[in-house]
């Protein structure tokens, strides 16, 4: 149904809902990310659980009005547990025809679309490749369309402020936000305060934005086109102090915590690459903690400077994304050979080559596992949500430092840019990190002596008298550390390096299936797909199916109970945003089980609806 514009509604209803999915779309310069972030923060502070998914083009300012220049921000808020940014939309706010065209298919039938009618000009319709105006040709019949001349109304509300036209038009996103705030009963207070802070030195811009958001809010309140508003009660999350974090920030903070906990200084050697760069952006801010963030001349200098810093005794990390990991391959081998503790963060994106820089994928798993010359095992772990990037960055540092070997931490564009509430962890709640540092005082232990349990070698920092030694990429003698080409020594050293990584399994947590300890189907995933798989499995169990969800955070080595978990289910399906890379690893290690696969490589996260449909089919097959 389209809304009959002539009808008036005397009184507006308030409808109670558990959760809604909202997407703001517009030109990449329209401020959609800011609009979405403000709505998210306000909702979180209101007490809702939230999850977000920004989706933006790789062009910074793509040509105005073009289909490929559409920038979007999706947010899922609820009074119930929210584990994904949601699939289909309850509300689409489209600032231009291109945004409408590229996002319409996601809107649930009968649900709401708010459009800025001022942007539906002949020129913009052409750019969006519309043959006729969708607002007039009846193609939106199945939706509730709220047509608002946002640009004109914004201009009207700011006409006395003496601002230039460009600045005026730029604040129209706040008109949309004001409307959405009213629809969902949100308080504008947080955003009004945000303007004051952000535009402290440009009070006129703060005033303009405040005026426009209020104009949008009051417009929605009085507008007859919006029949009702919605109430989403606060959710029942564990008590505590929270903040909204995205995965990249959480990753950066995990390293800050690990540095403080271990008593080491933090070094980052990095080269800008989407979508990993925000970790660099975050860490360069924290010179007050003594963070040394070095923007190198290339990916290789990023990691090799990191190896240098690790040799000199820092908690040393490097951050990158797919193509960058390829460039770092040889140096990771050097870190394996020199047995230095470094962490390599790979925020995965669509590949191969440049691929889809701003889109998500899980297709670097095999590169992380095997993408080096020689027998070169590394520890590979993966974060699975924006907030737990904090924990896994901390864990990656702990494993590197305690086992004296490089760790690859995999995240992806989806959780790196997505955000959710984080129950803030204090440094005192984090586990201890015991480094392998030795000083001249420790008798009888040299830089090439190992811990009996972990096989980690000692770490003698340059500057320590009496422990002078040389390391390098050439094979070394097991006992003296000197260069050795001896055949049996090489085999012994190869085995030590492998065994050292394998023994990490004694220090990691078990694989714990959720929802079912045993049953008809085990859904297996790893990394950033946790939220989608968790939601799908939760919903199926609610409907009476016996489905478990086992999610890998430790991929090399794997938890010791992995085979035991697999043995308790009739069917196992491995779901990944790639062509089956974890499946490949599992088939090699646990060939006594059949692994079914569910794969998607569209640069997008899984749809919970699709996952449920797939799992149901498998459950019915018996």
Which residues make up the interface to another protein (CB under 8 A)? 41, 44-45, 47, 237-244, 253, 256-257, 260, 265, 267, 269, 286-290, 292, 294, 296-298, 300-302, 304-314, 316, 330-331, 333-334, 338, 423-427, 461-474, 482-483
Our CB check for another protein shows the closer of 220 and 252 to be: 252
First to last CA, the chain: 42
The conformational region for residue 208 under phi > 0 = left, psi -120 to 50 = alpha, else beta, is alpha
Our CB check for another protein shows the closer of 152 and 439 to be: 439
Our CB check for another protein shows the closer of 474 and 613 to be: 474
Which residues have C-beta within 8 Å of that of residue 506, sequence separation ≥ 6? 453, 560
Our CB check for another protein shows the closer of 172 and 398 to be: 398
> Residue 449 CB, nearest distance to another protein (Å)?
17
Match 């340059």 to its residue by tokens.
Answer: 462
> Residue 464 CB, nearest distance to another protein (Å)?
6
> Residue 480 CB, nearest distance to another protein (Å)?
9
> Residue 396 CB, nearest distance to another protein (Å)?
17
> Residue 315 CB, nearest distance to another protein (Å)?
10
DSSP 566-611: HHTEEEEEEEESSSSHHHHHHHHH-TTS--EEEE--SSSPPPHHHH
Our CB check for another protein shows the closer of 229 and 477 to be: 477
> Residue 344 CB, nearest distance to another protein (Å)?
14
H or E segment and range at residue 343: strand 342-348
Q: In terms of C-beta density within 10 A (0-12 exposed, 13-18 middle, 19 or more buried), how is residue 564 classed?
A: exposed
- The answer to whether 306 and 269 are in contact (CB under 8 A) is yes
Match 């289910």 to its residue by tokens.
Answer: 569
Bridge partner residues of 524 (DSSP)? 550, 574
> Residue 50 CB, nearest distance to another protein (Å)?
11
Which of 303, 337, 312 is CA-nearest to residue 473? 337
Our CB check for another protein shows the closer of 302 and 350 to be: 302
> Residue 353 CB, nearest distance to another protein (Å)?
21
> Residue 500 CB, nearest distance to another protein (Å)?
20
H or E segment and range at residue 4: none
| Tokens, residue 234 | 């606060």
Our CB check for another protein shows the closer of 112 and 304 to be: 304
Match 């260069």 to its residue by tokens.
Answer: 483
DSSP 8-state code for residue 456: P
DSSP 8-state code for residue 146: E
User: What is the bridge-based pairing of β-strands 13-16 and 228-231?
Assistant: parallel
Our CB check for another protein shows the closer of 280 and 550 to be: 280
- The answer to whether 294 and 318 are in contact (CB under 8 A) is no
Our CB check for another protein shows the closer of 62 and 310 to be: 310
């Amino acid at each position: 149904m389209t809304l009959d514009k002539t009808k008036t509604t005397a009184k507006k209803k308030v409808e109670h809902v558990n959760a809604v999915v909202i997407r703001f779309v517009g030109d990449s310069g329209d401020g959609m990310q800011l609009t979405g972030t403000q709505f998210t923060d306000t909702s979180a502070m209101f007490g809702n659980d939230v999850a977000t998914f920004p989706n933006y083009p790789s062009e910074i300012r793509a040509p105005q009005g073009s289909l490929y220049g559409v920038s979007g921000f999706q947010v899922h808020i609820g009074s119930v547990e929210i584990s994904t940014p949601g699939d289909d939309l309850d509300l689409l706010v489209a600032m231009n025809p291109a945004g409408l065209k590229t996002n319409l298919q996601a809107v649930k039938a009968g649900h709401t679309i708010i459009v800025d009618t001022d942007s539906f000009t002949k020129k913009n319709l052409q750019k969006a490749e519309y043959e006729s105006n969708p607002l007039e040709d009846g193609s939106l019949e199945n939706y509730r369309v709220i047509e608002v001349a946002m640009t004109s109304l914004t201009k009207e509300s700011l006409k006395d402020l003496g601002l230039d036209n460009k600045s005026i038009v730029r604040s129209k996103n706040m008109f949309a936000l004001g409307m959405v705030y009213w629809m969902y009963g949100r308080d504008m207070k947080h955003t009004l305060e945000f303007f004051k802070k952000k535009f402290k030195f440009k009070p006129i811009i703060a005033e303009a934005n405040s005026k426009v958001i209020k104009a949008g809010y009051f417009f929605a309140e009085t507008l007859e086109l919006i029949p009702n508003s919605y109430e989403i009660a606060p959710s029942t999350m564990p008590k505590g102090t929270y903040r909204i974090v995205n995965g990249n920030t959480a990753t950066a903070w995990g390293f800050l915590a690990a540095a403080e906990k271990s008593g080491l200084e933090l070094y980052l050697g990095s080269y800008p690459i989407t979508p990993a760069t925000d970790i660099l952006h975050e860490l360069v801010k924290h010179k007050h903690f003594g963070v040394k963030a070095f923007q190198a001349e290339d990916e290789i200098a990023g990691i090799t400077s990191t190896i240098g810093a690790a040799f000199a005794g820092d908690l040393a990390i490097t951050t990158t994304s797919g193509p960058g990991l390829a460039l770092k391959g040889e140096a990771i081998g050097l870190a394996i050979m020199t047995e230095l503790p470094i962490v390599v963060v790979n925020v995965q994106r669509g590949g191969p080559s440049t691929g889809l820089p701003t889109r998500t994928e899980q297709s670097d798993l095999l590169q992380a596992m095997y993408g080096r010359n020689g027998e070169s095992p590394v520890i590979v772990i993966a974060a699975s949500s924006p907030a737990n990037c904090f924990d896994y960055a901390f864990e990656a540092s702990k494993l590197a430092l305690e086992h004296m070997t490089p760790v690859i931490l995999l995240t992806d564009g989806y959780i790196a840019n997505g955000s959710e509430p984080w129950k803030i962890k204090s440094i005192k709640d984090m586990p201890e990190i015991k480094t392998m540092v030795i000083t001249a005082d420790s008798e009888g232990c040299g830089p090439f002596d190992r811990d009996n349990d972990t096989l980690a070698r000692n770490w003698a920092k340059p500057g320590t008298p009496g422990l002078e030694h040389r390391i390098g990429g050439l094979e070394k003698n097991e006992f003296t550390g000197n260069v050795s080409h001896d055949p049996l020594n090489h085999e012994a050293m190869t085995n030590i390096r492998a065994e050292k990584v394998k023994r990490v399994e004694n220090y990691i947590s078990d694989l714990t299936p959720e929802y079912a300890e045993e049953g008809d189907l085990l859904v297996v995933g790893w990394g950033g797909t946790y939220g989608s798989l968790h939601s799908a499995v939760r919903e199926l169990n609610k409907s009476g199916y016996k489905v478990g969800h086992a999610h890998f955070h430790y991929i090399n080595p794997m938890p010791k109970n992995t085979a035991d978990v697999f043995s308790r289910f009739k069917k196992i399906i491995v779901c990944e945003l790639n062509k089956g890379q974890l499946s490949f690893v599992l088939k090699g290690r646990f060939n006594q089980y059949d692994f079914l696969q569910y794969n998607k490589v569209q640069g997008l996260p899984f749809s919970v609806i699709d996952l449920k449909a797939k799992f149901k089919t498998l459950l019915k097959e018996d």
